[in-house]
């Protein structure tokens, strides 16, 4: 297996099957620290830089919390407007990371331009972790989802997935790439104008992903072991910031997971994932049903980032 030390985490297209399991094993080892709310000194001499050109609650803070749990330091920015990249200069990715690489030992970047973290990785001498790039990918989120499934179900192979939402989403791309490494048939349900592009379908077909598309969650939910939901009412991910203006509309029933739907149609032991934030696609009364695992995902999001940071910094092998 390739070493993770010094490696960029840019895409799940790069991940081999045994590498997923290695990351899960490290996460499981580090999990007691997060569960017991303890900090260790594993990365006492290391610093994480967060470079966020787009808003985030979970991804940035989970990376920061992970670094703190491992005894490291954190610096960075949560709004590029307060840097030279977001003012008159519009400073380039190259010039920015040629600075940031001296401020820390690993950089996690979120950007509104697809491929920006890849551009950063070309220039930085320290590992770059992709925290979401435009419509591109969100590898650490899907690693968190896979880890959640692995912990809850004890396996990935043989589980049937249902993915609901906007298939242009970066999470959906990482999901499809990641599932190519497992025996996991998946059904995608999305509005027609948010469906998987023909180009992307051709690509995942080449990797032998067993997938189909359906119009309504009711057509696919009965078979699903894992239900992963994303909004269909959401901002434009190619903008640095997309404020809500006026009425944004409601989620049509085709793309909504209600308590009644789960009670009447879902498998009794299916699990429901959502990376969050949500709109109305999962109403709040689903939160306390036995299907929901998104709060568990929130916890696992810290654990997964602990594992990734420790691995790319060579503290765990």
Where does this chain bind ligand CP (CB under 6 A)?
56-59, 132, 141, 275-276
- Residue 77's DSSP bridge partners are 51
**What's the min distance (Å) between Cβ of 57 and ligand CP?**
4
Q: How far is the CB of 102 from ligand CP (least distance, A)?
A: 26
Nearer to ligand CP, 130 or 187 (CB): 130
HSE at residue 225, side-chain half, CA atoms within 13 A, is: 17
List all residues 6 or more positions away from 284 whose beta carbon is below 8 Å from its beta carbon: none
Beta-ladder partners of 227: 162, 272
Least Å from the CB of residue 158 to ligand CP: 27
Sign for the pseudo-dihedral over CA of 183, 221, 166, 301: negative
Q: Which residues contact 192 (CB under 8 A, 6 or more apart)?
A: none
Least distance (Å) between residue 151 CB and ligand CP? 18
Residue placing its CB nearer to ligand CP in the complex, 214 or 276: 276
From the CB of 140, what's the least distance to ligand CP, in Å? 8
CB 231 within 8 A of CB 281: yes
CB of 184 to ligand CP, least distance (A): 21
The span from the CA of 265 to the CA of 288, in Å, is 18
| Residue 138: CB minimum distance to ligand CP, A | 6
Determine the Cα–Cα distance for residues 71 and 65; give it in Å rounded to an integer.
10
């Amino acid at each position: 297996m390739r070493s993770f030390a010094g490696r960029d985490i840019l895409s799940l297209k790069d991940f081999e099957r045994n590498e997923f399991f290695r990351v899960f094993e490290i996460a499981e080892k580090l999990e007691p620290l997060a569960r017991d709310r303890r900090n260790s000194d594993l990365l006492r001499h290391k610093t994480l830089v967060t470079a966020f050109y787009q808003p985030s609650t979970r991804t940035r803070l989970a990376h920061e919390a992970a670094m703190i749990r491992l005894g490291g330091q954190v610096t960075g920015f949560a709004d590029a407007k307060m840097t030279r990249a977001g003012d008159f200069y519009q400073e380039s990715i190259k010039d920015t990371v040629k600075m940031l690489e001296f401020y820390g030992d690993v950089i996690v970047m979120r950007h509104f331009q697809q491929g920006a973290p890849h551009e950063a990785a070309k220039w930085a001498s320290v590992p770059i972790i992709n925290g979401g790039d435009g419509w591109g990918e969100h590898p650490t989120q899907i690693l968190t989802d896979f880890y959640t499934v692995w912990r809850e179900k004890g396996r990935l192979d043989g589980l049937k997935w249902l993915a609901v939402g906007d298939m242009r989403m970066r999470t959906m791309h990482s999901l499809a790439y990641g599932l190519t490494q497992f025996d996991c048939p998946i059904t995608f349900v999305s509005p027609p104008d948010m469906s998987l592009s023909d180009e992307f379908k051709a690509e995942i077909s080449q990797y032998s992903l067993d997938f189909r598309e359906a119009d309504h969650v009711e057509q696919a939910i009965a078979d699903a072991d894992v239900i992963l939901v994303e909004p269909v009412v959401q901002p434009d991910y190619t903008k640095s910031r997309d404020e809500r203006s006026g009425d944004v509309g409601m989620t049509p029933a085709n793309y909504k997971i209600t308590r009644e739907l789960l009670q009447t149609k879902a498998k009794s032991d299916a699990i429901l994932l959502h990376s969050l934030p949500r709109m109305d696609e999962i109403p709040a009364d689903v939160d306390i049903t036995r299907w929901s695992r998104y709060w568990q995902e929130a916890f696992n999001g810290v654990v997964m980032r602990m594992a990734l940071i420790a691995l790319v910094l060579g503290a765990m092998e």
